[in-house]
Amino acid sequence: MPEDLSILVSGEAGQGLQTFEQLMVRVFKLSGLHVFSYSEFMSRIRGGNNSTQIRISSQGVASCTRRIDIMVPLHEGAMERFRERITPATVILGEKEFMDRAYTGGGYPIVDMPLSRMAGEMGGQVYVNVILTGVFSGLFGVGQDLLEDQVRQAFGRTGDVRAAANVAAARMGYEKGSHLLRSGQALPVIERSDAVKEALLMNGVDAVVLGCLAGGCTFISSYPMSPSTNVLVLLARYAEEFDLVVEQAEDEISAVNMALGSWYAGGRALVTTSGGGFALMVEGLSLAGCIESPLVIHIGQRPGPATGLPTRTEQADLEHALYAGHGEFPRLILAPGTPEEGFTLTRHAFTMADRYQIPVILLTDQFYLESNCVVQHLDIPEPLYEHAVVETDPAYMRYRLTDTGISPRGVPGFGQGLVCVDSDEHDEYGFITEDAKVRTAMVDKRLRKLGAMQNECIPPTLVGPEGSRFLVVGWGSTFPVVKEALGVLGRDDLAFLHFSQVYPLPTRTVEILDRSQRRIVIENNATAQFARLIRQHTGIVFDGKILKYDGMPFLLEEVVEQLEALLERW
């Protein structure tokens, strides 16, 4: 028996899978179970087929598995896309009409649960998701009071009548689930922990948003684009509580120029977008480089080119982020792999943007943003953040040449000086110039900042022994799945190096990579962009590549099998 259990619910858009996911993971977490969930969905509002995977475990896991222990089909054809993942060990729970004939003829454990009929008795099909939450709560021994409290809380906004009806639906499911448990349905024993009850339940969106707040973000201008929109939505929800100015721009060009206007006037601004929106912001990125404005850009990656797969995941915009913008200017690119990193790095993005007066790009992706997991602790630093803004005097020069390349940054209306910034090449005051010497001095000044930034690099995280014979290298959202795969493989000659600062490459990168004999890169893209970046800057070539670009995140078993195959060859 595995020490964790994977549930997959497959339904149509509009069947309330999202509500099920949110409610279910809360209930599991509050009952002390480690929980992870990820939803994959089509770019449509009704119909099609979407699925939610929930893993419960006694230890923290945060990756998708191919293995499905319990499959719940919610409509005809719901099992079609998962045929390869259903085995004779998969329990199929739900109504027989929605189960493919291949499975109902025997050989597969079936739990007949007439969810539609039960929902009908409660007053309509809208109750299926809540009944299902009840079934699993009963099946996994969650306290009934806890479940009903959570349902009441979740539906409280819809009024007393609706909330009471949903509580009744949850109770109906709970009774069915408890009955299954009593009837001896074979289930793995998953230990509960009090620490989990007290822990935080977060997804990547929460992490980025909390990091923004901790980094002193005061201004958000953005245009909605999946999968980054929820960052905008959540910041808008917190706007009143945190005194944020949230503005939905008419396009991404406006969004990035607003962000620059806000930084200029003393705001700490974020834009959140995806690859296509970022493409529209690129002239603004270059403007940030020229006027030496801080700027924080969150890119939630999705598969391209062009519209690509709007609701799915990929890590193919690293080079887009790296090379975007005409002219030469410094930038920083960060890519978190866990909610803890997302929180820390987003806050760090604001600090670094402010301190070095550069654009900082935070690269996430749909998988990172939309997956939920349990986080024990987030460290809120003291002081929360520091403003690098100075009060100006009458002789103030915005672009004063300094050894570090950093000129003290004033804002209009704070002090007696004038703050003059120009997208044309400019002198120390900010006035237009075509003087060749000044031009050269200004380019050098801007690029000099890269040198100082090297002292504040975020080192890569090593999982496993130092100097191992084999080394897997990844960045961003692949961290949890690779880490878990290494645990499954349990080899002492294999380690994993995870980069959360992808550009500039952290110091010591060469030193660490050089210690291993064989290096494997893992990326959620088709051309191994990070491997190319490492090769360009260090000359180090990778011996193996594990790549995926079908729009889905890596599954645990895929990583395990592909690593095994590569290691076997050597």
Interface residues toward another protein, by CB under 8 A: 30, 198-202, 206, 210, 213-214, 216, 218-219, 221, 238-245, 247, 249-251, 253-255, 257-262, 264-269, 283-284, 287, 291, 378, 380, 382-385, 387, 389, 411-424, 430-432
If you write DSSP's letter for every residue of 498-547 in order, what string do you get?
EESEEESPPTTHHHHHHT-SEEEEEESSSS-HHHHHHHHHH----SEEEE
Whole-angstrom Cα distance, residue 487 to residue 387? 42
Distances in whole angstroms, Cα of residue 221 to Cα of each of 80, 82, 254: 41, 40, 8
Judged by beta carbon, residue 14 or residue 261, the one nearer another protein is 261
Whole-angstrom Cα distance, residue 7 to residue 270? 36
* Alpha helices (runs of H) in 71-216, residue ranges in sequence order: 101-104, 115-122, 128-139, 144-155, 160-182, 194-198, 204-214
CB of 422 to another protein, least distance (A): 4
CB of 285 to another protein, least distance (A): 11
Roughly what angle, to the nearest 10 degrees, separates helices 436-453 and 339-356?
150
Judged by beta carbon, residue 165 or residue 291, the one nearer another protein is 291
CB of 192 to another protein, least distance (A): 16
Judged by beta carbon, residue 286 or residue 509, the one nearer another protein is 286
CB of 243 to another protein, least distance (A): 5
Judged by beta carbon, residue 236 or residue 528, the one nearer another protein is 236
Element spanning 413, H or E = strand 409-415
Whole-angstrom Cα distance, residue 181 to residue 8? 19
CB of 436 to another protein, least distance (A): 16
Judged by beta carbon, residue 166 or residue 372, the one nearer another protein is 372
- Please report the beta strands in 82-125, taking only residues with DSSP state E, as ranges in sequence order: 91-94, 110-112
CB of 244 to another protein, least distance (A): 6
Judged by beta carbon, residue 118 or residue 375, the one nearer another protein is 375
Whole-angstrom Cα distance, residue 19 to residue 27? 12
CB of 105 to another protein, least distance (A): 46
Whole-angstrom Cα distance, residue 49 to residue 189? 31
DSSP 454: G
Q: Which residue has the tokens 């858009």?
A: 13
CB of 431 to another protein, least distance (A): 6
Judged by beta carbon, residue 404 or residue 423, the one nearer another protein is 423
Neighbours of 124 (CB within 10 A): 11
Judged by beta carbon, residue 180 or residue 287, the one nearer another protein is 287
